[in-house]
Structure 1
């Protein structure tokens, strides 16, 4: 897939189909983009699970932080990555090792690694990079998803 441009409706369809999102690189610091994104996603009705080994066991926005994706006790639909691009490949490897793989890996603004995306797509996952669900969020997405 060409990650320079996404077909019309690609990200909207993803955001309508997912319900549980793991946020890798979640931060309790209110000034960090991951904190704002978590707050937004929770407000839109998503189940959000923060992932950050430095804050495991604590809470961010009322959600208990886990150290790693494999520590999440329920299946997730999407992994939203707030890490440096050099870490995306390791996140993909962690996702591919899960018993219940999410359908989507989403790299936030600035998070792009085409080789990691190829590996994830070869395993059947959808990938979005260098975008934010907050910026891509269509006004009616959760209303449609919640009433379906």
Structure 2
């Protein structure tokens, strides 16, 4: 399925629990501020990063990998290199039947892993950011520093 606005909007509305694979504890990293934004929008964000397992982020305990999550997961958001995607998708598929979406961040794509997930009935988004799409589709781009209508060379 193509990533139409209606398709993306449907995914963002139906998702409630998002596991973010590759989330950073560093507040200036995109994986941190995307996960934080999603948590502030009411999503339950489960942080996944083996280097920070056991720490707390956004009120949740960081887990080493998806196999450690016992809660139902609606979406897996992947902040890893494309070559790391196949085993992540394999772990994500263990969360069927609640898993509905695998979302690969900007710059992350893997056709074979996407096809495997889609064959299991999972919606797959590649090379996009849920934070940017949420802001774009729900009228919040101004809050994200985009399309402010102000042109200036002054800081």
What band does the TM-score fall into relative to the shorter chain? 0.7 to 0.9
Among residues 98, 123, 128, which one is paired with 1:126 in the alignment? 123
Match of 1:145 in 2: none
Among residues 73, 87, 92, which one is paired with 1:95 in the alignment? 92
Among residues 107, 114, 120, which one is paired with 2:104 in the alignment? 107
Cα distance in 1 between the residues matched to 2:100 and 2:22: 19
Q: How does 1:1-148 map to 2 (within 5 A)?
A: 1=1, 6-98=3-95, 100-137=97-134, 138-139=137-138
Which stretch shows the higher mean deviation, 113-122 or 94-103? Answer: 94-103
- Superposition RMSD on alpha carbons, in Å? 1.7
Given that residues 80 and 106 in structure 1 are in contact (C-alpha distance below 8 angstroms), is that contact kept between their aligned partners in structure 2? yes
Cα distance in 2 between the residues matched to 1:31 and 1:140: 24
Cα distance in 1 between the residues matched to 2:120 and 2:96: 13
SS at match of 1:9: helix
Given that residues 95 and 101 in structure 1 are in contact (C-alpha distance below 8 angstroms), is that contact kept between their aligned partners in structure 2? no
Could you tell me how far 1:98 is from its partner in structure 2?
A: 3.7
Given that residues 73 and 95 in structure 2 are in contact (C-alpha distance below 8 angstroms), is that contact kept between their aligned partners in structure 1? no
SS at match of 2:5: coil
Cα distance in 2 between the residues matched to 1:68 and 1:140: 33
SS at match of 1:49: strand
Larger radius of gyration: 2
Cα distance in 1 between the residues matched to 2:37 and 2:114: 25
What's the TM-score once normalised by structure 2's chain length? Answer: 0.83
Which structure 1 segments of 5+ residues have no match? 142-148
Given that residues 21 and 48 in structure 2 are in contact (C-alpha distance below 8 angstroms), is that contact kept between their aligned partners in structure 1? yes
Given that residues 48 and 63 in structure 1 are in contact (C-alpha distance below 8 angstroms), is that contact kept between their aligned partners in structure 2? yes
